[in-house]
Structure 1
C-alpha cells in the first residue's frame, strides 16, 4: 500500500511538472506571437534620425520591432512594386509616393498603382538642397553658379534618386546641365550617402546633397538652393495597403510627429511639417 502511494505521488509530481513546462512553453509562444515587426522603408537621408527614433519607440513599445530598410526612394518604390513586405513608406520626394498612390490621378500615377493608404498620407518633413565641398576646397567653389567653370568633377545623385532629380532641375535652371553632362564632369551616386562620401573623400570637387546629410557627414555647406532653383524638398509618409500591421504602422507614423521625434529630426536640420 505504501509503495502504491509513492507511485501515485511521483506520478502527480511529474504530471504537474509537465503541465508547468507546457504552460511556460505556451506563454513563451504567446509572447513571441505578440511581437510585431514593422517594416519601414525610408529614404537613405533619414538613416541617422530614424535609427535613433526607432530606439526610442521600441523602448516605449517593447512588443514592436522596427525593421528599417534605407535606400534611395526610387529603389524602395521598385522593391514595394516587386512585393517586398512594407508597412510604412517615407519618400524623399512626392514623385515616388505619387507613383504608388492611385488617388493622385493618372498624370502622376500613370501605371495606376494602388499601394498607398491615402487616408494616412502626410507631408512629414522638409529638407534643403545644399552645395558641399571637400576639406580645403581647392577649387574655391562658394556658390552653385561656379560649378560649371571651376569644378573638374561634380558628385550628384542618379536620375532615379530624389536628390539627383532636384540637382538636375537646379543645374537646368542655371543653364549648365548640358555643359556638365556632355563634358563628363559628373560622377553619380546611387543614393545621397554615396554623394557625401565622394565629396568627403575628395573624389569630387563638390557635390549637391541635402542639408541633413551634409550635417551627418560633417560637411559645411557653402551654398543653399532657393525654392525657385529646385522647388521644395518635401518628405511624404504613408501606411501601405499591403501592410500586415496597419494599426501599429499608423501608431508609429503618429509617433514620428510627436515632440520626441520632432526633436531628433530638428537636431540634424529637418523642418517638421505636422
Structure 2
C-alpha cells in the first residue's frame, strides 16, 4: 500500500513539474504583434485577431486603425508596426521602397482584398442625388482627405467621369475648393478617414458621402447606398498586406506575423472578410 502511494506521488510530482515547465516555456514565447490597418478593416480585423488569439494564446495583438496615409506616415516616423494592412496600393508601395530603420519583409506582401466605393446617404434624407453623375444636386458632402485612399478613389472617379474639369488630370490637384467649385458650390466636409465619413452621413450631418462597401456593414438601418461606383471610374480598390521589419522587431515577432498573414488567407478568414462585404483576391 505504501509502495503504491509512493509511486502515485512520484507520477503526480512529475506531471506537476511538466505542467510548470510547460508554463514557463509558454511564458517565454509570449509574443505581441502590432497591426496597423486601414479604418475600413476595423470590425473584421478585431474578429480575426480574437479568433487567431483563441487558437494561439501565446500571440496577442495591439491594433491601430486609421487612414492608410496616416498609418504609413507613423511607420516611416518610427512607430513600431509588425503588420501593415493598407486600403491603397500606393501607401504600401511607398513603404516597400524602404524607409529609415525599416522595410517591408521580402516576399510577405499579398494583395489580399478588393472593395468598392459607394455613394451613400442617410435613410430618410430625400436627397435628389440618384447617382454619382448628379452629385452636385446635394447641398453638402462628407469626403475623406486627399491622403486617404477612399478620398483618392473618389477624386479619381470625378476625373474619369469628366466632372472635375478638363484642366484637372491628377488626384492631388483636386482640393476641396476645386471640387466644390466643379460641383456648383457643393459644401465639402473634409474627413480624416472613411469611418468619419460614414458617421457624418449616418448621423445626418452630411447629405451624401463616399465610403467603401465594407463600411456599410452595421449601418444597414442608417445608410442607403445610392450607387456602387464601377471600377472603370475608381480603378481597382485593392488592399495589400505585408509584414514589417525594423531594428526594434524581434525574430519571434516576425515569425508570428508571417503565421498570421497565412491565417488571413485561410478559409475561416475568407468567410469573415466576405461577411464584411470584402472580396478576397
Q: Give the deviation of 1:164 after TM superposition.
A: 0.6
Larger CA deviation: 209-218 vs 251-260: 209-218
Any gaps of 5 or more consecutive residues in structure 2? 1-15, 165-177
Give the structure 2 partner of residue 194 of structure 1.
196
**What does 1:14-163 correspond to in 2, within 5 Å?**
31-102=26-97, 115-148=103-136, 150-163=137-150
Q: Larger strand proportion, structure 1 or 2?
A: 2
Number of residue-to-residue matches in the alignment: 244
Which secondary structure does the structure 2 equivalent of 1:100 belong to? helix
TM-score (norm 1): 0.83
Task: Tell me the residue number matched to 2:268.
Answer: 260
1:270 aligns with 2:278: yes
Structure 2 Cα separation of the partners of residues 181 and 256 of structure 1 = 43
Quote the RMSD (CA, aligned, Å): 2.3
Partner of 1:225: 229
Output the CA distance in 1 between the equivalents of 2:100 and 2:280. 30
Q: Is the 8 A contact 1:100 1:113 kept in 2?
A: no
- Change over 3 Å in CA distance of 1:203–1:261 after alignment to 2: same
What secondary structure does 2:224 align onto? coil
The answer to whether the 8 A contact 2:121-2:207 is kept is yes
Farther-moved stretch of structure 1 (139-148 vs 233-242): 139-148
1:212 aligns with 2:214: yes
Residue matched to 2:163: 176
Kept in 1: contact 2:200–2:206 (CA 8 A): yes
Greater Cα radius of gyration, structure 1 or 2: 1
1:207-247 deviation line (CA, Å, top 9, x unaligned) = 01100002233223120111110101000011112243111
Q: Distance in 2 between matches of 1:253 and 1:44?
A: 18
TM-score (normalizing by structure 2): 0.81
Give the Cα separation in 2 of the matches to 1:118 and 1:158.
31
Could you tell me which residue of structure 1 aligns to residue 7 of structure 2? none
SS at match of 2:157: helix
Question: Is contact 1:101-1:116 (8 Å) kept?
Answer: yes
Cα distance in structure 2, aligned partners of 1:33 and 1:79: 29
User: Contact (CA 8 Å) 1:38, 1:67: kept in 2 or not?
Assistant: yes
CA distance in 2, matches of 1:100, 1:146: 37
Q: Is the 8 A contact 1:133 1:205 kept in 2?
A: yes
Q: Post-superposition shift, 1:268?
A: 1.5
Equivalents in 2 of 1:172, 1:185: separation in Å? 18
SS in structure 2 of the partner of residue 196 of structure 1: helix
Relative distance call for 1:271 and 1:161 in structure 2 (3 A) is: same
Consecutive unaligned residues in structure 1, runs of 5 or more: 1-19, 103-108
CA contact (8 A) 2:139 2:186 kept: no
